Amino acid sequence: PGPIDLPFSPPAGSLRRKLRRLLFEGHLMEVQVLRRALQSNLGDVTFHEAYARTGRIVNITVSPASEYERPRLLNYLTAPNVLLWSAACASCAFPILFQPVELVAKDKHGALVPYHLTDVKWKDGSMTTDLPTTRLSELFNVNHFVVSQTNPHAIPLMSKPRATRKWREHAAAARPSWARRCCGVAAYLLSSELAHRFRQAVHLGLVPKILEASLFQPMGGDITIVPPFSLSIYGKVISNPTWDQVQQCTADALRCTWPVVSRVRTDCEVEIMLDQSARRLAKAVQERNARLDGGGD
């Protein structure tokens, strides 16, 4: 495969034009640019086609733009004909950033058609069902979740300050200065205080339901991997990523994953051992029943 097509937003988009679009249309970014970039990277592949080619199950959550629909978990079982890029585009339609979009599917002739006959639009699933643990358990018998939590509104509530993390820095990397460490701790304390005040506002009924549902839903799993919190990430949300940023995010993800690798390995070993024991027990029961049936004859 070729390199990833990174332009997910217009490179020439000025702040003034984005603010004008926000004022008159209700969103900052052009969703059509995002759609073209996703379609260029993923191709017109459906959930079922992706599963048939790779054997891997892709799950994408989307939330309805109206109150008359329910959140959906899209995969090769629940929405086999929906295109991956269409679901990914809907999942990226975070309020204020992108407008909600329609889902696109393939018909029996391979033509691209709307998934719904009516004008039903969808947006980011993290607004209501970021972690659809119940639905995943029902469909795939999953009872243990390893979560990589990268939603911008969840990171401040779950991440620890950089100063408290005991990472082994690369030999060429400079140790963070005292001022930067203090800023990291101060940002973490500020975000924690804001989260506490927000919860108080929820209890008093001063917060809209949509914010309550998005911020106070379960955001973690049995093992949760969270990137370090930094205010600079929010400025990068509305700009095209560079390859340097992609490599930096990859390095940060590796550093966040290393501390939990042993837990993942241990949990997997326990699960494998339980499966093997259950199979041996079932085989022993079958052999015992066969001997009893043979002895009775």
| pLDDT tens-digit readout, 124-173 | 866 666 678 888 999 998 888 998 888 777 777 666 544 344 444 443 34
Residue 157 shares a structural domain with residue 200: yes
Residues in the chain: 297
Tokens of 92: 């990226």
Strand 122-124 to 60-64 pairing: antiparallel
Q: Which residue is it, tokens 């086609």? A: 49
Q: Which residues of 224-253 are buried (b: 16+ CB within 10 A; e: fewer)?
A: bbbbbbbeeeeeeeeeebeeeeeeeeeeee
Residue 7 shares a structural domain with residue 125: yes
Residue 1 shares a structural domain with residue 139: yes
- Alpha helix (H) ranges present in 14-104? 15-25, 31-42, 47-54, 84-92
Residue 22: domain span: 1-143
Mean pLDDT computed over 166-188: 61
Residue 109 shares a structural domain with residue 188: no
**CA–CA distance, 252 with 14 (Å, rounded to integer):** 29
Residue 9 shares a structural domain with residue 130: yes
98 within some domain: yes
**Does 227 have pLDDT greater than 80?**
yes
164 within some domain: yes
Mean pLDDT computed over 22-51: 87
| Structure confidence at residue 281 (pLDDT) | 95
Give 86's contacts (C-beta < 8 A, 6+ positions apart): 101, 102, 103, 104, 105, 115
Residue 76 shares a structural domain with residue 29: yes
Q: How crowded is residue 272: how many other Cβ atoms within 10 Å of its Cβ?
A: 10
* pLDDT band with cut points at 50, 70 and 90 for residue 295: low
| pLDDT tens-digit readout, 261-287 | 999 999 999 989 999 999 999 999 999
64 within some domain: yes
Q: How crowded is residue 220: how many other Cβ atoms within 10 Å of its Cβ?
A: 16
pLDDT greater at residue 104 or residue 15: 104
Q: How crowded is residue 30: how many other Cβ atoms within 10 Å of its Cβ?
A: 19
293 within some domain: no
Residue 29 shares a structural domain with residue 92: yes
Give the 3-state secondary structure percentages of the chain, helix then strand then coil, rounded to 5. Answer: 50, 10, 40
Residue 102 shares a structural domain with residue 161: no
| Structure confidence at residue 88 (pLDDT) | 92
**CA–CA distance, 228 with 28 (Å, rounded to integer):** 26
**CA–CA distance, 289 with 297 (Å, rounded to integer):** 13
DSSP state of 259: G
Residue 172 shares a structural domain with residue 135: no
| pLDDT tens-digit readout, 41-83 | 889 999 999 999 999 999 999 988 887 778 889 999 999 999 9
Question: What are the backbone angles phi and psi of residue 239, rounded to the nearest 5°?
Answer: -130, 160
Residue ending a domain, choose from 143, 170, 191: 143
Question: What are the backbone angles phi and psi of residue 63, rounded to the nearest 5°?
Answer: -115, 145
| Structure confidence at residue 179 (pLDDT) | 76
294 within some domain: no
The CATH number covering residue 6 comes to: 3.40.1090.10
Residue ending a domain, choose from 143, 168, 191: 143
Residue 73 shares a structural domain with residue 186: no
Residue 121 shares a structural domain with residue 213: no
Residue 134 shares a structural domain with residue 2: yes
| Structure confidence at residue 11 (pLDDT) | 56
85 within some domain: yes
Residue ending a domain, choose from 208, 226, 244: 226
Number of domains in the chain: 2
| pLDDT tens-digit readout, 87-120 | 999 988 887 888 889 999 999 999 999 998 778 8
Tokens of 188: 């973490």
| Structure confidence at residue 96 (pLDDT) | 80
182 within some domain: yes
279 within some domain: no
